[in-house]
Amino acid sequence: MIKNIFILKANTGELIFFKAYEDIFNVKLTSSFLSAIFSFVKQTLKTSEISEIEVGPFRFIFEIEKISGDELLFALFSDRTDNLVELRNQLLEIKTQFLSKFDVNTLIENFDGEISKFLDFESNVENILEKNKQLVSEEIQKDLIMVFNELHTFSSFVVSSALLTQTGRVIVSYLKPSVLSEIIRLLEGRFITGNYQINELISLEDFGILNLVGIDENFISVVQFKSNCPFETGLIIGKKFSQRLRKLIC
């Protein structure tokens, strides 16, 4: 769960915007803490690239925008168990909309510490987060479950299945938690290296054969097969399954 969102001048720690969903921070102290982390990484490790840090059960995710010799730091604070790829996409969208809405060059050069002028950006943040809450209706969800049930009786090779977003958010899943975690880690790893979408992937894992098919730019179908399933059979079943799901959600 997202707990806080911060936008600040990275070099000075001056707070520009924040949104609190849980009141667990002293906001000024936290902005100073985030600035200190950025300065430490920049001066000690000789890089301004910082993507995320984990602190106990929590995680900070960062995006940085360089402007006129300064940097704006966008930070999102959440539970460590939250989907990193989905949160990263949301933070990127927050950064994009903020940079589009405000004259950030003027902001960097003539910032007077007055943050009230940015309060209306809260509506942008809420719209970004709200957009991700429900991707399919309850009616479509029921139809999806019927397709899943048919898949599970179609072939003795099929172990389990799921419908995920390209960012790893679960729409429907019959996968074991350990298998689902492996898939989300796979998506996170691809995302970090710049591969934002899966088209088709089949691999042999300890838990069986895994087939992922990109339905479109938003969704992925997942089918887990028994280890003795021929790859060609897995590819055919996975593709037909994704096509059926596409008709319902696209």
Fold observed for domain 138-249:
Beta-Lactamase (3.30.450)
Please tell me if the domain spanning 2-131 has the same topology as the one spanning 138-249: yes
Tokens standing for residue 237: 């079943």
Return the higher-pLDDT residue of 185 and 225.
225
| Helix ranges (DSSP H) in the chain | 27-44, 84-101, 104-110, 121-131, 138-154, 177-192, 231-249
Average pLDDT, integer, range 221-231:
96
- CATH architecture entry for 2-131: 2-Layer Sandwich (3.30)
Summary mean pLDDT of the chain:
85
Tokens standing for residue 72: 């704006």
Parse the chain into domains and list their residue ranges.
Answer: 2-131, 138-249
pLDDT digits (tens, 9 = 90+) for 110-142: 777 788 888 899 999 998 888 766 678 888 989
Phi and psi at residue 196, to the nearest 5° = -85, -10
Predicted pLDDT of residue 55: 77
pLDDT digits (tens, 9 = 90+) for 14-37: 888 988 888 776 777 777 777 777
